[in-house]
Structure 1
Amino acid sequence: MDQFHIFIMQILFLSGITLGSKSFSLNDKDKWAISVARYVIYVLTIQGTKWACTVLYDMYLKRGDLDLKFLKKVNRHQVMLYLGFIGFLVLNEQTVIDGDFSQMLIASLIVKYPVIETKSKTSVNYGVGMACSFFEGYLTHVLPSDGARFVGFEENIRRFESKQGVVFPVKKLFVIVTKSLFSPPDLKQFNKTNREEASSIEACRSLDAIEKDVAGVRNRIYKNTAYKIYRAPRRPVCVAAECATLLHTLYRVTKNRDLYEVLADVNVDDIVSDFTNTLRKIIANSPECRGKCEIIYFDDTDPQLNFADVLLDRIREIEPNFEKIIETAQASG
Structure 2
Amino acid sequence: MIAKNKIKSSHIFAVQFLSAFCILFAQRDYSVENLFSQDAFIQTLRYAVYFLVLQGSEDGLVLAHAWWRGGGAGTRGARRRAARGAGALAAAAAALLCLRQPLLQPDFALFIMASLAVKYLQTAGAAAAISYGAGMACSYYEGYLVTVLPNQGSDDAQGFQAKISTFESREGVVFPVRRLFIVITRSLYCPPDLALLNHPHRRGATIEACQSLDDVSRSVAGVIGRVYRNTVYKIVRPPAPPAPGRAPAPPRPVYLAAECATPLHTLHKVKTRSQLYDELVHADYEEIRDDFCAMLAEIIARAPACRRAVELVYYDDTDEEQNLAELLLQRIAEIEPEFDTLTRD
In the alignment, which residue of structure 1 is the partner of 2:165?
158
Alpha carbons 1:38, 1:96 under 8 Å: kept: no
TM-score, normalised to structure 2, is 0.72
1:1-333 to 2 correspondence within 5 Å?
1-3=6-8, 23-25=26-28, 28-31=31-34, 34=37, 41=45, 44-46=48-50, 48-49=52-53, 61=67, 70=80, 102=108, 105-106=111-112, 109-111=115-117, 113-114=119-120, 118=124, 122-148=128-154, 149-196=156-203, 198-232=204-238, 233-325=250-342, 328-329=343-344
Alpha carbons 1:257, 1:263 under 8 Å: kept: yes
- Secondary structure of 2:187's partner? coil
Change beyond 3 A, Cα 1:11–1:265: closer
Give the whole-Å Cα distance in 1 for the aligned partners of 2:186 and 2:58: 22
Q: Which amino acid aligns with 1:259?
A: L
- Secondary structure of 2:236's partner? strand
Shift of 1:38: 6.2
Q: How many residues align?
A: 310
In the alignment, which residue of structure 1 is the partner of 2:242?
none
Shift of 1:321: 1.8
Q: Note the residue ranges of structure 1 that are not aligned, 5 or more in a row.
A: none
Alpha carbons 1:24, 1:32 under 8 Å: kept: no
Change beyond 3 A, Cα 1:257–1:36: farther
Q: Which amino acid aligns with 2:193?
A: D
Q: Which amino acid aligns with 2:266?
A: T
Tell me the C-alpha RMSD between the 2 structures.
4.1
Query: How far does the alpha carbon of each residue in 1:144-198 deviate from its partner, in whole angstroms, 9 at most, with x for none?
Result: 11211221111111222222221211111111112222211111122121112x0
- Secondary structure of 1:282's partner? helix
Query: How far does the alpha carbon of each residue in 1:208-249 deviate from its partner, in whole angstroms, 9 at most, with x for none?
Result: 121111011111111100000001321000000000010121
Identity percentage over the alignment?
36
Change beyond 3 A, Cα 1:50–1:171: same
Change beyond 3 A, Cα 1:276–1:116: farther
- Secondary structure of 1:122's partner? coil
Query: How far does the alpha carbon of each residue in 1:8-54 deviate from its partner, in whole angstroms, 9 at most, with x for none?
Result: 876898799789xxx53488453356587666555655555566667
Give the whole-Å Cα distance in 1 for the aligned partners of 2:276 and 2:42: 38
Shift of 1:287: 2.5
Change beyond 3 A, Cα 1:137–1:26: same
Shift of 1:263: 2.8
* Structure with the larger helix share: 1
Query: How far does the alpha carbon of each residue in 1:75-133 deviate from its partner, in whole angstroms, 9 at most, with x for none?
Result: 9xxx9xx99xx9xxx9xx9x898958736742564245416865997121222211111
Q: Which amino acid aligns with 1:224?
A: N
After the TM superposition, which segments of 4 or more aligned residues of structure 1 sit over 4 Å from their partners?
Answer: 4-19, 26-29, 32-64, 95-101, 115-121
Give the whole-Å Cα distance in 2 for the aligned partners of 1:303 and 1:99: 54
Alpha carbons 2:150, 2:159 under 8 Å: kept: yes
